[in-house]
Amino acid sequence: MRTEPVHPHLRRSARNASSQRGATSVVVALFLVVAVAALGAIDVGNVFFARRSLQRIADLAAMAGVQTIGGGCSQVAETATANAAANGFSANASGQTLTVVCGRWDTKSNSAPSYFASTNAGTPLNAVQVTATRQVPFFFLGPARAISAMATAQATNLGAFTVGTALAQLQGGVVNGVLNALLGTNLSLSLVSYESLANARISVGDLMAALGVGTVNELLSAQVSIGELEQLMLTALSRTTIVDPNLQTDLATLQVIANSGVSSPVQIPLGNTSGTPGLLSLGVSDTQSAIDATISPLDALVVAAEIAQNGHALQVAGALNLVGLVTARLSLQVVAPPVLAIGEAGIDPATGTWRTQASTAQIRLYLDLGLNVPLVASVDVPLSLEAAQGQAWLESTNCTSSAGTSSSVIGGQTGIANLCIANQAATPQAVSQPFSCPAAAANIVTGPLGIPLVTARVSVPLVGSPIDPPLTFVGTTGGYQSFGTEVGQALANALSANLTIDGISLSALTSLLAPVLASIDVVVDPLLQLLGVQVGVTTIHDLSLTCGVSKLVY
DSSP one-letter string for 124-138 = SP-EEEEEEEEEE--
Cα 311–Cα 315–Cα 319 angle in degrees, nearest 5: 130
Q: At a CB cut-off of 8 Å and minimum separation 6, what does 19 contact?
A: none
List beta partners, residue 97.
133
Q: What is the pLDDT of residue 233?
A: 93
pLDDT tens for the 554 residues of the chain, in order = 455 555 555 555 555 555 555 566 665 566 565 555 555 555 566 667 778 888 999 999 999 999 888 778 888 999 999 999 999 888 888 888 999 999 988 887 788 888 898 865 556 788 999 999 988 776 556 566 788 899 999 988 889 988 865 554 555 556 777 788 788 888 888 888 888 888 899 999 999 999 999 999 999 999 999 889 999 999 999 999 888 889 999 999 999 998 988 877 888 899 987 667 889 988 887 888 889 888 989 888 888 888 888 777 777 655 565 555 666 777 778 888 888 899 988 888 778 889 899 888 888 888 887 776 666 677 888 888 888 788 889 998 888 778 888 889 999 887 777 888 888 766 667 767 788 888 888 888 887 777 787 787 888 777 777 777 888 999 877 777 766 656 666 677 766 666 666 666 666 666 767 776 776 766 666 666 666 666 666 678 888 898 887 889 88
Q: What is the pLDDT of residue 478?
A: 74
Cβ–Cβ < 8 Å for 84, 132? yes
Give the helix/strand (H/E) hosting 393.
strand 391-398
How many beta carbons lie within 10 A of that of residue 6, not counting itself? 9
Q: Checking phi first, is residue 62 left (phi over 0); if not, alpha (psi -120 to 50) or beta?
A: alpha
Omega within 30 of 0 (cis) for the link into 277: no
SS3 call for 64: helix
Could you say which DSSP state residue 69 is in?
A: G
Q: What is the pLDDT of residue 218?
A: 94
Cβ–Cβ < 8 Å for 289, 342? no
Cβ–Cβ < 8 Å for 215, 311? no
The number of residues in the chain equals 554
Please tell me the distance from the alpha carbon of residue 492 to that of residue 475, in angstroms, as a whole number.
38
Please tell me the distance from the alpha carbon of residue 554 to that of residue 107, in angstroms, as a whole number.
12
Cβ–Cβ < 8 Å for 187, 260? yes
Q: Residue 517's closest CA among 326, 319, 381?
A: 381
Q: What is the pLDDT of residue 136?
A: 77
Q: Residue 280's closest CA among 333, 212, 204, 214?
A: 204
Omega within 30 of 0 (cis) for the link into 124: yes
State the maximum Cα–Cα separation within the chain, in Å, rounded to a whole number. Answer: 173
Cβ–Cβ < 8 Å for 304, 279? yes
Amino acid at 257: I
Amino acid at 115: Y
Q: Checking phi first, is residue 340 left (phi over 0); if not, alpha (psi -120 to 50) or beta?
A: beta
Q: Residue 194's closest CA among 510, 530, 455, 541?
A: 530
Q: What is the pLDDT of residue 505?
A: 65
End-to-end, the C-alpha distance of the chain in Å comes to: 90
Please tell me the distance from the alpha carbon of residue 160 to that of residue 357, in angstroms, as a whole number.
10
Amino acid at 168: A
Q: Residue 205's closest CA among 197, 215, 195?
A: 215
C-alpha dist (Å) from residue 14 to 3, 4, 21, 303 = 19, 17, 11, 105
C-alpha dist (Å) from residue 188 to 6, 174, 185, 337, 524 = 130, 10, 10, 24, 20
Q: At a CB cut-off of 8 Å and minimum separation 6, what does 433 contact?
A: none
C-alpha dist (Å) from residue 443 to 182, 204, 302, 320 = 31, 52, 36, 22
Q: Residue 220's closest CA among 280, 161, 293, 289?
A: 280
